[in-house]
Amino acid sequence: MTLFSPSTWSSIAGRQMAERHDGYASRDDVLDYLADYEAHYAIPVERPVRVESVHQSDGRLVAAASGRRWSARAIVSATGTWRNPFVPRYPGADDYTGEQIHSAHYRAPDRFAGKKVLVVGGGNSGAQILAEISRVADARWVTQQPPAFLPDDVDGRVLFARATERWRAQQAGREIEVPVGGLGDIVMVPPVRDARERGVLHAVAPFERFTATGVMWADGRETQVDAVIWCTGFRPALDHLRPLDVLEADGRVRVEGTRAVKCPQLWLVGYGDWTGAASATLVGVTRSARDTVAGIGAALDPTASTRHHART
């Protein structure tokens, strides 16, 4: 698995990710980069800590984790989505005896060698896993809609530029025409182009239900399947915020900018476009993070902005 944007467009503000000879960073490259970033700025990260709940107490917010508590005037929730993989419910799923895993837990194709595998999901993860696993297994790609492929010369750099232009237009209250193609469309990184050349990059409509040993399609046909890999995305990991009663029916928190409407001491960063354009990406999170810091500063010290303007 690799990023679908060049290293220069996959960096957090203040420190560039090292260039790769082919332009696309691997999983290990990203982990090394984040570790280097943390060390370079001596960021005081405590780990492992899993915050179990956030609640209000005496006008402050309290985060609780395994017997520990932190009290604060403001809290930023930045747990993202990766802890909460989404798997759709299908009839018969509990009776299916084959293997089911989510892309979040996929590591390598070796364990599927020689097996019949369904890869479910039409995004970049589905395309990349299909490309990899189809070399060792009898793999079939299942998508809700026909996959949307970007031109070979369009990568993450172009997509982020488009997203930035859309954001600037929204801020200025103007309308623009931006070419079709978003961050959810499939980027033709080298392994995916190779899968196209091998003739395996095509998808079929979803099956109707599971059987004990496979799946049943809409036309009544049954297919034996050894494993299903769900590339069906993630949902916001927000269970720790339930005591604040801020979760809406869709599982999100209603925000103005990144500030929670129902709990003004809470800010949310990095969950997707609803907390800032491209804010769930390394290069895109900087803008919403900076806005959040400014918002918290103004909320905790409303006179700071006035003093700053007086000095300048």
Instruction: Note the pLDDT tens digit of each residue in 199-252.
Output: 999 999 999 999 999 999 999 999 999 999 999 999 999 999 999 999 999 889
190 lies in the same domain as 291: no
In a domain, 69, yes or no: yes
In a domain, 306, yes or no: yes
Using left for φ > 0, alpha for ψ between -120 and 50, and beta otherwise, residue 173 falls in left
Amino acid at 126: G
In a domain, 211, yes or no: yes
In a domain, 293, yes or no: yes
For the chain, the helix, strand and coil percentages under 3-state DSSP, each to the nearest 5: 30, 20, 50
Rg (alpha carbons) of the chain, rounded to whole number: 22
Task: Find all residues with CB under 8 Å of 45, minimum gap 6, and list them.
Answer: 38
170 lies in the same domain as 55: no
The HSE-up count of residue 67 (CA atoms within 13 Å, CB side) is 0
List per-residue pLDDT tens for the chain, 312 residues long: 677 777 777 889 899 998 876 667 888 999 999 999 999 999 999 999 999 999 999 999 999 998 899 999 999 999 998 888 999 999 999 999 999 999 999 999 999 999 999 999 998 899 999 999 999 999 999 999 999 888 877 665 666 666 666 666 666 667 655 544 455 588 888 899 999 999 999 999 999 999 999 999 999 999 999 999 999 999 999 999 999 999 999 889 999 999 999 999 999 999 988 998 778 888 888 889 999 999 999 999 877 654 444 443
Contact 233, 123 (CB under 8 A): yes
Q: Which residues pair with 56 in a beta bridge?
A: 61
75 lies in the same domain as 187: no
In a domain, 235, yes or no: no
Position 25 scores a pLDDT of 85
219 lies in the same domain as 262: no
223 lies in the same domain as 131: yes
Structure tokens at 229: 């890999």
138 lies in the same domain as 166: yes
The residue among 50, 53, 75 whose CA lies nearest residue 263 is 75
Q: How far apart are CA 312 and CA 308, in angstroms?
A: 6
Q: What is the DSSP string of 18-44?
A: PPPTTSEEEHHHHHHHHHHHHHHTT--
Contact 100, 115 (CB under 8 A): no
Amino acid at 103: S
CATH of the domain at 102: 3.50.50.60
pLDDT in tens, 170-209: 666 676 555 444 555 888 888 999 999 999 999 999 999 9
In a domain, 214, yes or no: yes
For residue 60, the enclosing domain spans 46-83+249-311
Which of 183, 198, 230 is the endpoint of a domain?
230
Position 165 scores a pLDDT of 66
In a domain, 12, yes or no: no
Position 158 scores a pLDDT of 63
290 lies in the same domain as 209: no
What's the number of domains the chain is made of? 2
58 lies in the same domain as 151: no
266 lies in the same domain as 224: no
In a domain, 3, yes or no: no
